[in-house]
Amino acid sequence: MENKIDIVIQGGIWHNTYTTALYYLTLPFINKVIISTWLDERDKCSAYPKDERIEYVFSHPPEHDGGGNLNYQIISSSEGLKHSTTDVVIKARSDQTILLDDMEKLNIFYNRFHEDKEIFTLGMGTHFPYHPQDHFLWGKREDLINLFDLPFETAEATHDAHTDFATNTLRGNIHLGVHYYARFSEIAKKHATDPKKYLLDAAPNRQEAFDEYDRIKSLGFKPFPRVTMQWHKYGTGYMYEGYAEQGEVYYDEEWL
């Protein structure tokens, strides 16, 4: 559906999720909102007023969270994207809301700067290889489907139990990013198959992953300009300052 965009809001149902869906539907370029969540959220969702432009998708949760709930994101994003029908789709978290003025600007930015198969994101990590921010993604439907068509993370520890990014748990953003970059790079594909050697924080060959990431970074993902967000889970905005201290970068050039 040309010039219209579906939004997949994925994750558990928060107090803002339904009102955020209605809020986004006021944007003229939005076709419909798909809320992709879990089977145990059905009763909560059934209490909301019906809207023909809001569609619900309910899935079984994964057996293992993958560290940082990555496997939850893979399932809810992938299942939601299957119900999208537009050429371009947005993937958003269920606990976040970006202000309408900024959504309008992001739409202009995407249409102006999108070139091929790259997916636009809120920020790009530089202190870790293959590390796009995964909160909010905007790209072609087929590319987002490919992004979430990847194996579950099978970390030796969950995010809340004995996690050690140096030795036993791959950062979720890297797991997501490296498998997408592997579609463009045989070297990235090699790195994806052996995270202990190339991708964990203490991996002995980590510099090789950084070198390839630097070479192909813009082929897979590009950062958006900064936005104003309500992050309802934490009662704050997007944590630009904290993420920047961890090496995340944004599109900070003048463009409008």
Lowest mean pLDDT among 60-69, 106-115, 170-179: 60-69
pLDDT of residue 217: 97
C-alpha to C-alpha distance for 222 and 180, rounded to whole angstroms = 13
Let me know if residue 177 belongs to a domain. Answer: no
Residue in 193, 253, 184 with CA at minimum distance from that of residue 212: 184
Total structural domains in the chain? 1
CB-CB contact of 79 with 57 (8 Å): yes
Let me know if residue 143 belongs to a domain. Answer: yes
Using the predicted structure, report yes or no on whether residue 156 has a pLDDT greater than 60.
no
Residue pLDDT, tens place only, 189-232: 999 999 999 999 999 999 999 999 999 999 999 999 999 999 99
Mean pLDDT of 161-182: 89
Using the predicted structure, report yes or no on whether residue 157 has a pLDDT greater than 80.
no
Mean pLDDT of 17-30: 98
Task: Identify the CATH number of the domain in which residue 118 sits.
Answer: 3.90.550.10
Q: Mean pLDDT across the chain, nearest whole number?
A: 95
Let me know if residue 182 belongs to a domain. Answer: no
Let me know if residue 255 belongs to a domain. Answer: no
Q: What percent of the chain is predicted at pLDDT more than 70?
A: 96
pLDDT of residue 2: 63
Using the predicted structure, report yes or no on whether residue 184 has a pLDDT greater than 70.
yes
Q: Residue 86 belongs to what domain range?
A: 5-152+219-249
Let me know if residue 53 belongs to a domain. Answer: yes
Using the predicted structure, report yes or no on whether residue 161 has a pLDDT greater than 70.
no
pLDDT of residue 160: 56
Using the predicted structure, report yes or no on whether residue 137 has a pLDDT greater than 80.
yes
Using the predicted structure, report yes or no on whether residue 3 has a pLDDT greater than 90.
no
Let me know if residue 237 belongs to a domain. Answer: yes
Let me know if residue 188 belongs to a domain. Answer: no
pTM of the model: 0.96
CB-CB contact of 54 with 64 (8 Å): no
Let me know if residue 181 belongs to a domain. Answer: no
Using the predicted structure, report yes or no on whether residue 113 has a pLDDT greater than 80.
yes
